[in-house]
Amino acid sequence: MELIISIINASNMTNRHQSGGAVKPAALLLFLAVLLALVGCESSKSPTEAVFRGNPIEGELTGVLGLDGSPYLAVDTLTVPAGSQLVIQPGVELRFEPGIPFEVYGTITAEGTEAAPITFTSGLVYPDRGDWDGIWLIDADPASRFEYCYFLFGAKYGRRYHYRINEDQIDSTLWEYGSVTCIRSSPGISRCWFLSGGFHGLYCDTSANPLLENSIFYDNAGHGIYVSPTADPQIRYNIIVENDDYGLFCNQEDNNPRPDIQLDYNIVWSNFSGEFNQLAPTLLGRVVQQNGNLDSCDYRYNLRLNPSFKDPADWDFDLNPCSAAIDAGPEDPAVRDPDGTRIELGIYPYQYRPGEIRRLLTVSALESARSPYYMSCDVLLPAGNSLTIEPGVEILVEGRFLFRALGRLMSNGTSDQPVTFRSNADQPGLGDWIGLTFEAGGDEGTVLRYTTIANANTAIYLNQRDAIIDHCIIEDSDSYGIYCDDFSAPTITDCTLRNNYFVGILCKYNSAPTISRCTISGGAGYGIHALERSRPTVTNNIISGVATTGIRLENLSNASIINNTIALNGYFGIFCKNNSSPDIRNNIFFRNGTELRGGTGILAEQTSLPTIEYNCFWGHPISAVNVSDDTTFTATNIQEDPRFVDYEAGDFHLMEGSPCLTSGDPGIDRHMGAYGGPQAGE
């Protein structure tokens, strides 16, 4: 079989295109296909030496290298002579036998398309880095251009390359080079892939000033880009990641850092030796400002962030929605993506879907007419911005993402058209997304009204921020429903918190929320948990069916707990420990715990001294209270059946004749429980 194919290839070698490019006639191509089918593809070569077959070419190439003859196999050095031009059509594939270079002294135009890129690659069946010697532009015409080209497996590390430096055929030796090497040549290179090269991706030698934009350098054995002392390439909108040496290497004859380099709006990240060597401009890679996405970058807007490709190991360099490369280009009307937003870094423009929100959110409103919205990544509402969410809007979250509001958020649902934040999973579960966060330093004035937040890790997190949270439903969080941290003091009224795994409302580090007329149920931990000197005001709430304790107070946390119904919780109604001394009055404690688990209305450790007055206790299998002698527990408390309308159905209204209607604190209201007192609801 080797002999037969060699004869066929030799025959092909005589069929030269007039321009110098080899073209395989259709009849011969069909004959070869039939022959291969008949005799199979077995080869006596080892797998690492087996060469793909293609239309064999060598020597000078000029004119047009057409798609009809592709794939081509370079069996010896290819050359574009000085003064000549070669045009390679979109979709053409050039394969190179081991050690074969492609030298360009004239003009090369290799302009593929996104749908039909041009490929320069190894001719081996099992390719590896450095199989062939790459493309050499030596005094090439500056009109030379590469667009949508793959450069794969070129440039072997440690191989000295000899090239012609003038018409007298004098050879020179170069120790540094790349899959594309520019010597006194300044081509335009756009939207190209430099992948798995055996040495550098792009080498810029003497007086090489190429324009390199929107390209990807990945998995090259040397540097992504090498810049010699006299080269001044313009490098913009590229992604240079995971190369075995530096992302960008600058060489200087005087061994001092370069004063500057035209490196703008690139991602340089996770290269083995570092992003830039010590001779690169000192400020490259140092965070000094933010770009349009508010991502930290250096003085030329270069990022050191994960570009978040979909699957780079499989050479899928599409951008995930969370990529920092999206809209990371300049604020320049002349440099735009097809969708009109800022240009992306890398090869592919990112196409926003209708209703998609991601990363920086600068619109003033989410409109019901455009709902639903799809949250495809973390979202940031920046400080100084206000966002209004109209009634009926749905925000469907597509992963473990966070809605971070430093600006003022106004979620204006209504009783019949609530705003909804929830998981977009087919089967939503606890913690499908991270939740809403309101961090320290953000704008005040946030309002969440008639808003449902489901399936988050922590539905609402507040740090040194106040907010109005009114008539909201917060459910199925796998940590906390509302987390009040570090002096935050939201007003939480008429909300339903259910099945939030650890805690319905967590109060920590001096936080002081006001919690009124809420229903808190379900979950494996606590209804309300206050610790680290927190001071919640808890009035007119129903806390029932929580697996452990209705309200837990610890670490110097003192609360005002007035006119609540705390019923049917797994261990205790209220548990006070570590110097927590709340004021507890006008509450109803009903059947909390069992004989084996808690079984007590109020448990207070000796260091905690709650004031317990005008409360009703009923149905606790161990005791109504378990407190120290120093606790203020007066005879104003009663132990009688409160006579709920239908507690099994969740109706904790009091029936006519209930003792709790007349036994409350006269200074507040004679009506005990969630439906008494000045803050009582209907």
Report the chain's C-alpha Rg in angstroms: 36
| Torsion sign, CA atoms 668, 670, 673, 677 | negative
Is residue 283 a contact partner of residue 257, using CB atoms and an 8 Å limit?
A: no
C-alpha–C-alpha distance, residues 99 and 130, integer Å: 8
pLDDT attached to residue 6: 29
User: CATH number of the domain at 360-661, out of 3.90.1170.40, 3.40.50.12160, 2.160.20.20, 3.40.50.720?
Assistant: 2.160.20.20
| Torsion sign, CA atoms 583, 589, 592, 595 | positive
Kindly report, residue by residue over 107-166, the tens digit of the pLDDT.
Answer: 999 999 999 999 999 999 999 999 999 999 999 999 999 999 999 999 988 777 776 666
- What percent of the chain is helix, strand and coil (3-state, nearest 5)? 5, 40, 55
Q: Residue for token digits 């946030």? A: 446
Residue 226 contacts by C-beta under 8 Å, 6 or more apart in sequence? 176, 178, 200, 202, 203, 204, 249, 251
3-state helix/strand/coil string of 114-155 = CCCCEEEEECECCCCCCCECCEEEECCCCCCEEECEEEECEC
Query: Beta-carbon neighbour count of residue 468 at 10 Å?
Result: 15
pLDDT attached to residue 585: 97
Query: Beta-carbon neighbour count of residue 126 at 10 Å?
Result: 11
| pLDDT band, residue 54 (cuts 50/70/90) | confident
Angle at 609 between CA 607 and CA 610, to 5 degrees: 140
Side-chain half-sphere exposure of 450, counting CA atoms within 13 A: 13
pLDDT attached to residue 518: 98
Q: What one-character-per-residue DSSP string does 27-57 give?
A: HHHHHHHHHHHHH-S--SS-TTT-B---EEE
Written as one letter, the residue type at 293 is N
In the structure encoding, which two tokens stand for residue 8, read together?
């066929």
C-alpha–C-alpha distance, residues 195 and 211, integer Å: 19
Q: What is the helix (H) or strand (E) element at residue 5, kind and residue range?
A: helix 2-13
Report cis status (omega within 30 of 0) of the bond before 259. no
pLDDT(3) > 80 = no
pLDDT(45) > 80 = no
pLDDT(537) > 80 = yes
C-alpha–C-alpha distance, residues 394 and 387, integer Å: 15
Residue 398 contacts by C-beta under 8 Å, 6 or more apart in sequence? 321, 374, 375, 376, 424
Query: Beta-carbon neighbour count of residue 612 at 10 Å?
Result: 27
Q: Residue for token digits 């992302």? A: 247
3-state helix/strand/coil string of 165-194 = CCCCCCEEEECCCEEEEEECCCCEEECCEE
C-alpha–C-alpha distance, residues 582 and 491, integer Å: 19
Least confident of 33-42, 322-331, 600-609: 33-42
Written as one letter, the residue type at 54 is G
In the structure encoding, which two tokens stand for residue 182, read together?
């520019």
C-alpha–C-alpha distance, residues 341 and 346, integer Å: 15
In the structure encoding, which two tokens stand for residue 356, read together?
């998609």
Burial (CB count within 10 angstroms: exposed 0-12, middle 13-18, buried 19+), residue 608: buried
Q: How many helices (H) and strands (E) in the chain?
A: 2, 66
Burial (CB count within 10 angstroms: exposed 0-12, middle 13-18, buried 19+), residue 18: exposed
Q: What percent of the chain has pLDDT over 90?
A: 84
In the structure encoding, which two tokens stand for residue 275, read together?
């992003």
pLDDT attached to residue 678: 81
Is residue 578 a contact partner of residue 554, using CB atoms and an 8 Å limit?
A: yes
Greatest mean pLDDT among 470-479, 622-631, 671-680:
470-479
Least confident of 33-37, 295-299, 382-386, 415-419: 33-37
C-alpha–C-alpha distance, residues 463 and 609, integer Å: 29
pLDDT(343) > 90 = yes
**Coil/strand/helix, residue 440:** coil
301 vs 29, more confident? 301
In the structure encoding, which two tokens stand for residue 577, read together?
């420990």
Is residue 214 a contact partner of residue 345, using CB atoms and an 8 Å limit?
A: yes
| Bridge partners, residue 589, by sequence | 566, 617
Mean pLDDT along residues 182-186: 95
C-alpha–C-alpha distance, residues 419 and 452, integer Å: 6
Give Dmax over CA atoms of the chain in angstroms: 115
Is residue 21 a contact partner of residue 39, using CB atoms and an 8 Å limit?
A: no
Kindly report, residue by residue over 469-502, the tens digit of the pLDDT.
Answer: 999 999 999 999 999 999 999 999 999 999 999 9
Q: What one-character-per-residue DSSP string does 256-315 give?
A: S--S--EEES-EEE--TTEEE-TTS-TTTT---EE-TTS-EE-TT--B-S---EEEGGGT
Report cis status (omega within 30 of 0) of the bond before 71. yes
In the structure encoding, which two tokens stand for residue 366, read together?
């989410």
| pLDDT band, residue 10 (cuts 50/70/90) | very low
In the structure encoding, which two tokens stand for residue 259, read together?
């004063």
Is residue 66 a contact partner of residue 91, using CB atoms and an 8 Å limit?
A: no
Backbone angles phi, psi at 178, to 5 degrees: -145, 180
Written as one letter, the residue type at 573 is G
pLDDT attached to residue 166: 62
| pLDDT band, residue 391 (cuts 50/70/90) | very high
C-alpha–C-alpha distance, residues 621 and 617, integer Å: 11
pLDDT attached to residue 47: 46
Least confident of 7-11, 111-115, 139-143, 384-388: 7-11
Written as one letter, the residue type at 554 is E
pLDDT attached to residue 254: 87
Q: How far is CA 188 from the centre of its chain?
A: 32
**Coil/strand/helix, residue 645:** strand
Least confident of 14-23, 355-364, 416-425: 14-23
Mean pLDDT along residues 86-94: 98
C-alpha–C-alpha distance, residues 673 and 682, integer Å: 12
| Torsion sign, CA atoms 10, 72, 99, 80 | positive
